[in-house]
């Protein structure tokens, strides 16, 4: 008899004794395998699973035979009688190495989750391919034009084409660097080398650099001098650059970068850096999505959709927090609360 708690499990469970007779089949397993899946039947008959070539699970694995040290069968994809995919794993219980199998326990999990993951991976590959193809198309086009028409092009035309190729190459380099950062953040392999650094100098460099590349006013407001953070200078600069570029790309009006010391009652000593614009702002229901990978607002200036995700990840890696809010008077406001002490042991 199947225990009540076993019927409550979200995955299918089948257990057979040392002779191959099924002793437990929970409700989910019965719904997957069909009416013949009952206790008292042989495991060979209960597991009506085949692969793409029509070979059965039992013929492939022979759970009661094979090596005497075998203790399990890894999760694999199989087809149910109705054609749906199911992921099956098995545990072979023995009293010791070389002893006969005393019990076989299997789990059956719907393959829909894996299919959804495969679709998400395909979407990711398509997004990355699109982002890489756009600048590569420009590079190839201009290089081909120069090769075919070098003798008839003026020096000014050649310079313009080479400038465009250089800009597209820089865009490719940055995109590849962003993808590597995402991979390191996701796998926990991000290397940071923090130390105490002055905030104003780093912020001034970002404001001057981004401001030189746009007609929009980008300003820095410093609440008090000589503020410091405990940060990898390159990563801190990358975070602020991503936030400022995002404000320039998606906001309107003046972009202001303001910095001040965290209040005395904060969780940790440090500074708050706020980047605000005078645009429409970010609706509250979208703020969590803004921090996910490859999320964009659409349009020709959408970018890769990685900047905010990386900014949030790098901030957390230093023990800080990133928060999206509203600018008083209208517009978006993104605040980074960055520690001035080592809080890497607080990272989760």
CATH number at residue 201: 3.30.565.10
Q: Are 127 and 98 in a shared domain?
A: no
Q: Are 106 and 119 in a shared domain?
A: no
Q: Are 157 and 134 in a shared domain?
A: yes
* Distance separating alpha carbons of residues 346 and 320, to the nearest angstrom: 9
What's the first-to-final CA gap in the chain, in angstroms?
A: 43
Please count the CA atoms within 13 angstroms of the CA of 324 that sit on its side-chain side: 20
Q: Are 58 and 19 in a shared domain?
A: yes
pLDDT at position 68 is 84
Q: Give the residues across from 325 on adjacent strands.
A: 333
Q: Are 150 and 22 in a shared domain?
A: no
List, for the chain, all residue ranges whose pLDDT scores fall below the cut of 50.
Answer: 299-301
pLDDT at position 103 is 94
Cβ-contact 275, 223 below 8 angstroms: no
pLDDT at position 122 is 66
pLDDT at position 1 is 59
Q: Which two tokens stand for residue 277?
A: 């614009």
Last residue of a domain, one of 58, 87, 110: 110
Cβ-contact 17, 103 below 8 angstroms: yes
* Distance separating alpha carbons of residues 305 and 293, to the nearest angstrom: 6
Q: Are 207 and 307 in a shared domain?
A: yes
pLDDT at position 187 is 80
* Distance separating alpha carbons of residues 298 and 288, to the nearest angstrom: 17
Last residue of a domain, one of 61, 78, 110: 110
Three-state SS sequence of the chain: CCCHHHHCCCCEEEEEECCCEEEEECHHHHHHHCCCCCCCCEHHHHCCCECCCCCEHHHHHCCCCCCCCCCEEEEEEEECCCCCEEEEEEEEEECCCCCCEEEEEEEEEECHHHHHHHHHHHHHHHHHHHHHHHHHHHHHHHHHHHHHHCCCCCHHHHHHHHHHHHHHHHHHHHHHHHHHHHHHHHHCCCCCCCEEEEHHHHHHHHHHHHHHCCCCCEEEEECCCCCEEEECHHHHHHHHHHHHHHHHHHCCCCEEEEEEECCCCCCCCEEEEEEECCCCCCCHHHHHHHCCCCCCCCCCCCCCCCHHHHHHHHHHHCCCEEEEEECCCCCEEEEEEEECCCCHHHCC
Cβ-contact 161, 154 below 8 angstroms: no
How many residues in the chain? 348
Last residue of a domain, one of 160, 187, 214: 187
Give me the number of domains the chain comprises. 3
Domain limits at 245? 195-346
Q: Which phi and psi angles does 17 have, rounded to 5°?
A: -85, -170
Q: Are 123 and 182 in a shared domain?
A: yes
pLDDT at position 301 is 47
Q: In CATH, what number is assigned to the domain containing residue 140?
A: 1.10.287.130
Q: Are 170 and 276 in a shared domain?
A: no
Q: Are 66 and 26 in a shared domain?
A: yes
Q: Are 207 and 231 in a shared domain?
A: yes
Q: Are 129 and 96 in a shared domain?
A: no
Q: Are 99 and 202 in a shared domain?
A: no
Q: In CATH, what number is assigned to the domain containing residue 105?
A: 3.30.450.20
> Sign of torsion, CA 145 147 148 150?
positive
**Which of 135, 334, 107 minimizes the C-alpha distance to 239?**
334
């Amino acid at each position: 008899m199947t225990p009540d708690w076993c019927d409550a499990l979200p995955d299918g469970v089948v257990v057979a004794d040392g002779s191959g007779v099924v002793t437990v089949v929970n409700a989910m397993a019965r719904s997957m395998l069909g009416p013949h899946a009952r206790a008292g039947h042989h495991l060979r008959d209960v597991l009506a699973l085949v692969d793409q070539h029509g070979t059965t699970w039992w013929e492939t694995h022979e759970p009661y035979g094979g090596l005497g040290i075998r203790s399990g069968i890894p999760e694999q994809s199989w087809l149910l009688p109705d054609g749906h995919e199911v992921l099956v794993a098995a545990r072979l219980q023995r009293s010791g190495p070389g002893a006969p199998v005393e019990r076989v326990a299997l789990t059956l999990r719907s393959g829909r989750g894996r299919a959804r993951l495969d679709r998400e991976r395909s979407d990711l590959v398509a997004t990355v391919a699109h982002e890489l193809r756009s600048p590569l198309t420009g590079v190839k086009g201009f290089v081909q034009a120069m090769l075919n028409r070098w003798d008839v092009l003026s020096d000014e035309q050649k310079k313009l084409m080479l400038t465009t190729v250089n800009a597209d190459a820089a865009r490719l380099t940055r995109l590849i660097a962003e993808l590597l950062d995402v991979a390191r953040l996701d796998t926990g392999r991000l290397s940071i080398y923090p130390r105490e650094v002055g905030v104003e100098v780093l912020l001034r460099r970002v404001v001057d650099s981004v401001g030189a590349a746009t007609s929009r006013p980008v300003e820095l407001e410093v609440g008090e001098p000589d503020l410091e953070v405990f940060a990898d200078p390159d990563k801190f600069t990358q975070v602020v650059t991503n936030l400022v570029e995002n404000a320039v790309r998606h906001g309107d009006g003046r972009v202001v970068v303001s910095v001040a010391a965290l209040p005395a009652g904060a969780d940790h000593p440090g500074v708050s850096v706020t980047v605000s614009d005078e645009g429409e702002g970010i609706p509250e229901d979208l703020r969590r999505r803004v921090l996910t990978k490859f999320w964009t607002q659409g349009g020709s200036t959408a970018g890769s959709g990685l900047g905010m995700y990386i900014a949030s990840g790098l901030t957390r890696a230093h023990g800080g927090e990133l928060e999206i809010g509203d600018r008083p008077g209208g517009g978006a406001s993104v605040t980074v609360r960055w520690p001035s002490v080592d809080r890497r042991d607080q990272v989760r």
